[in-house]
Structure 1
C-alpha cells in the first residue's frame, strides 16, 4: 500500500512552526555527498529573518528569508558543507519562527528516476517478485522517495503530493516502487559502498513533451497536444520542484508513447537531447552549480513490444533516435549518457502486456554496468559490439562487418538486411525495399553477410535487428562473448 501525503501535511506542520523544509526533504532521506554540496530550501513567513541550517557534527550555514522568487510568502535556501561521511545525521533549520529537524539523514548519491510505464513498473510485478522484495529489504543504505502523479499547466515551486515518503525499503513501500530504479541501485551499490537516494517521478503513457520544459520544447519542431499529453505539464508539476535539490544523476525509461508515427520517432532525436540538456542546465543553475551541469543521464533503449517478428513498426526508428542516430552512447551529441540495450528481452506473455516485460533485472543490470563505466568511471566493458568498418568483398556478393572489440559471439545468422540501388550515391530509407542478408562466415572480430540480393546493383544500405521485436529472449545475432551484452541495432547508408 502506498503511503500518501499531500500538501495538507505541510499546512498542518505550519500551524506548529512557520518555518519548514520543502516537501521532499524528510527524515531517512539521502542528501548529495561530497564533492558536491547538498542544497536545502524551504519557506518561512518573516522576510529578512535569519535562518540557521545545521548538520549534527558537521557545522552550520546561515541564510536569510527573502521574498519567494517562485511563489508567495518567504523563501530560504542554504548550501550545506561538502560532507563525505555517510552519517546518519540530523539536519535542523532554526529561525525566530521555530525549528524543524530531519533525522536519520544519510549522505550519498541522489538519482532521479523518470519516464513512463516501464519506469513506473513496480518491483512487486517483476519475475521472482517475492525474492526481489526480500533482497531489497537488506539494502538499508538505499533510500526511496516517490512523487505523486500530478500535472499542471504552470510550474510548481514544490511538489503537490507525495506517494512514498523517504524511507529505507520496507514491505509496505518497496513493492510499489520502480523496479528498474531500485534494481539499478542494488547492482551499483556493492561497487560504491555509500548510500544511494532514489527519487521516482514517473507516469505511464506519457510522451517526452510532457516532461520537457517550454525551453526544451522550443528547441524542436512542436506537435499540437491536448489533455494529459499537453507539453510541459509533468515538468511543471513533477520535475521543476526538484531542481533546487542537489542530485548526482538521472535514469530515464520512456519512448514508447513517442513511437506512434515515423515523424514522431524521428523528432525524438531532437527532443531527447534537448530535454537532457535543459534538465542539466536548470538543475545546475538552481543549485548554484552544485548539481554538475553535465550530470550523468542513463536510459533504457526500447524493449520488444509484440510477438510479430516481421513487424518493423516505429520502435527501431525510435531506438535509433534515442542515440541521436549514432547507435551507441555516449557520443558527441549525447555526452555523459549511458544506455541499456533491451531489444532482446521480450516477455510476450506478460500479464501486464507485452510492452511491460517482467524482466527488469536484466534491464537494470545492463543499465548499472554502463552507469558504473560512465557515471562512476569504473573500468568495465559496458557496450555490446558495434561495427567499426564495412568492406564489400571482391565478388560483390558479400559484405564484411568488423566490430570494435572482440571476441564476439554469434547466436543466430539472421538479423542483417541490405538495401540495393542502381546508383552508388543513393540513400535508402524506411520505405525502401530491404533484403535479408544472412551471416555466411564469422570469426571473433567480424561477420561476413550475403549481399547477393544486390548482386546486380550497389549495396547502399545496411541495417541490423530493425524490428519492433527482433529476436527471442537473448537470441539476437551478435553479442560480446565475454560480456554477454548484445550488439545494438543500427542502420547505415552507403555501407559499401
Structure 2
C-alpha cells in the first residue's frame, strides 16, 4: 500500500510538471492579437504619434516594423500579455504595411495615412446612404453608383453592443469605398467624409458608432455620470427592471462602443443626436457639455474638435424640439472647439429622419474645413440672433455671423411671433431691413402695441425661412426666457 501511494505521488508530480510546462508554453507562444479597429485597410491619423495596442504571450517580446520607416521597435509584453506601441506617422500617403513578429508574424496591409474622424449619435447618424424602408436619402442612388474603391475613403462601423463595464474590443472591420460598402455606411458620416476628402485631397478614415433611439447618457462613462445626481446607475450593479431600451441605459454604449476605440488617434468627432433627450432639455444642457468633455478625456485629446447637428424640426409636443434646439444652440458657447450645423430647413413633418442627409454632412464639413483645417473664404457658422431693440412699436433684431446680410429668398417670412407684457404671442409680420450698413429683421403686429419679446420658428415643427445670404439657415430662437406652456414628455422608447 505504501509503495502504491509512493508511485501515485511520483506520477502526480510528473503530471503537475507537464501541466506547468504546457501552460507556460501557451503563454509564451500566443500569437499577436490586435483590437478589431487596428486592421487591414485602416487609416491612421497623419503627422501624429499613434498608439497600437495588442496582446501576445505573457512576457513575450514583440517586434513591430512600419513600412514608412526603416526603424523597428521591440517591446516585452507585460504579465497579462499586453503591449502598447507608439509610432510617429508621416504626412498623408500609402498604402503601407505594419509587421508584428513575436516568433509568429502578423502583417497589417493596405494601410493609408490621412485624416480620421469619429461619427456618432442616434438614428439620424445611423441612417445608411441607401436609406431604409420607406425612408429615402436624397441623391443616394447616384452617390452609391459613383462610389470608387480607388478614392481613398475607408470606413469602419462598430457593431451594436452593450456592456455594464468598459470592454477592450468591439466588432467591425475597415472597408474601402466600393458601392456595396458605401450603401451600408452612415449617410451623414459618408457625406461629411466625402466632402473632406475632395477638399483636402488626402485619405479619410471614418469610424461610425451609433444606435437609433439612444440618449446621450448611454454614451457617457460611469465616472462622469456619478457626478450627475439626476442619472440612476443602479442597472450597472444588478438586474433592474426598466421600460427603457438597452441603448437608453446610462454607460452601456460608452462601455461597448466608445471605450474600445480609445487608443485610436482621431482628428475630431461629429455628432447627430438629441431626439431621445427632448423630454428634459434642462438636463441635456448639463449632460451634453459633460459628454464632450468625457469623449475628449477618453481619447486623451483635450482639444478634440467636436461638431454636431442641431436636431431638425419634427412635430412632438408643442415646444419639445424647439427647447432642445435652444439648448444645443447655447452649448456652442459652453463647449470649446465646437460648432453646430443648423437644420431648420430640412425637417420632415411626417418622419423624424430628414431625407436631405447630404446637406447635414456638408454643413458639418464646413465647420471642419474652416475651424480644424483653417480654410477661408466661405461661411460655416449660421447667422445667430444677437440682440433686440424696440423702435416705434416694432422690434429690430440684430444677428451675428451675417456678413452679407440675411435673406428669405424673396419669400414672405412666416415664422415670427411677437408678445407684449401679457406674454401672449401673436403671428407677426417680419421684414429684412438695412439701415446705415446694418442689417436687421423688423418684427411687428397690430395686436401688440408695446412688444417685449419675439420668437422665430420656436415650435417643434416649422419650416425655416430665414437664411444667411450664403445659404446657411438661422436657428429657431426666442428673445424671452419665460416658462414654456404646452411642454410634455413623449414615450422614451420612441425612435428619436
**TM-score over 0.5 (shorter chain):** yes
1:320 aligns with 2:333: no
Partner of 2:295: 279
Deviation string 1:356-376 (CA, Å, 9 cap, x unpaired) is 122101111111112211222
Partner of 2:10: none
CA distance in 2, matches of 1:384, 1:232: 33
CA distance in 1, matches of 2:227, 2:195: 35
Deviation string 1:390-410 (CA, Å, 9 cap, x unpaired) is 1210x2x10111223232112
TM-aligned CA distance change 1:52 to 1:15, over 3 Å: closer
Partner of 1:41: 53
Q: CA deviation at 1:129?
A: 2.1
Partner of 2:440: 446
CA distance in 1, matches of 2:354, 2:472: 18
Partner of 2:283: 267
Task: Give the conservation status (yes or no) of the 8 Å contact 1:302–1:342.
Answer: yes
CA distance in 2, matches of 1:339, 1:82: 30
CA distance in 1, matches of 2:349, 2:148: 29
Partner of 2:382: 384
Q: CA deviation at 1:302?
A: 0.4
Partner of 1:5: none
Partner of 1:305: 314
Task: Give the conservation status (yes or no) of the 8 Å contact 1:320–1:490.
Answer: yes
Match of 1:174 among 182, 202, 207: 182
CA distance in 2, matches of 1:445, 1:171: 46
Which deviates more, 22-31 or 138-147?
138-147
1:478 aligns with 2:478: no
TM-score, scaled to structure 2:
0.82
TM-score, scaled to structure 1:
0.82
Q: CA deviation at 1:477?
A: 2.9
Bigger Rg, structure 1 or 2: 2
Q: CA deviation at 1:15?
A: 13
TM-aligned CA distance change 1:219 to 1:300, over 3 Å: farther
Task: Give the conservation status (yes or no) of the 8 Å contact 1:440–1:450.
Answer: no
CA distance in 2, matches of 1:139, 1:278: 36
Q: CA deviation at 1:43?
A: 1.1
TM-aligned CA distance change 1:109 to 1:138, over 3 Å: same
Match of 1:123 among 129, 148, 165: 129
CA distance in 2, matches of 1:135, 1:17: 44
TM-aligned CA distance change 1:224 to 1:313, over 3 Å: farther
Task: Give the conservation status (yes or no) of the 8 Å contact 1:37–1:83.
Answer: no
1:293 aligns with 2:302: yes
Q: Secondary structure at the match of 1:493?
A: coil
Task: Give the conservation status (yes or no) of the 8 Å contact 1:147–1:200.
Answer: yes
1:254 aligns with 2:273: yes
Q: Secondary structure at the match of 2:191?
A: helix
Q: Secondary structure at the match of 2:214?
A: coil
Task: Give the conservation status (yes or no) of the 8 Å contact 2:156–2:174.
Answer: yes
TM-aligned CA distance change 1:337 to 1:494, over 3 Å: closer
Match of 2:459 among 441, 446, 467: 467
5+ unaligned residues in a row in structure 2: which ranges?
A: 1-26, 132-136, 234-241, 483-496
Partner of 1:6: none
Q: How does 1:28-177 map to 2 (within 5 A)?
A: 28-34=41-47, 36-47=48-59, 49-58=60-69, 59-67=71-79, 73-96=80-103, 98-125=104-131, 126-137=137-148, 140-159=151-170, 161-162=171-172, 165-177=173-185
Q: Report the number of matched residues.
A: 431
TM-aligned CA distance change 1:60 to 1:438, over 3 Å: farther
CA distance in 1, matches of 2:191, 2:198: 12
RMSD, aligned α-carbons:
2.3
Partner of 2:335: 334
Q: CA deviation at 1:224?
A: 4.0
Q: CA deviation at 1:82?
A: 3.1
5+ unaligned residues in a row in structure 1: which ranges?
A: 1-13, 68-72, 285-291, 423-431
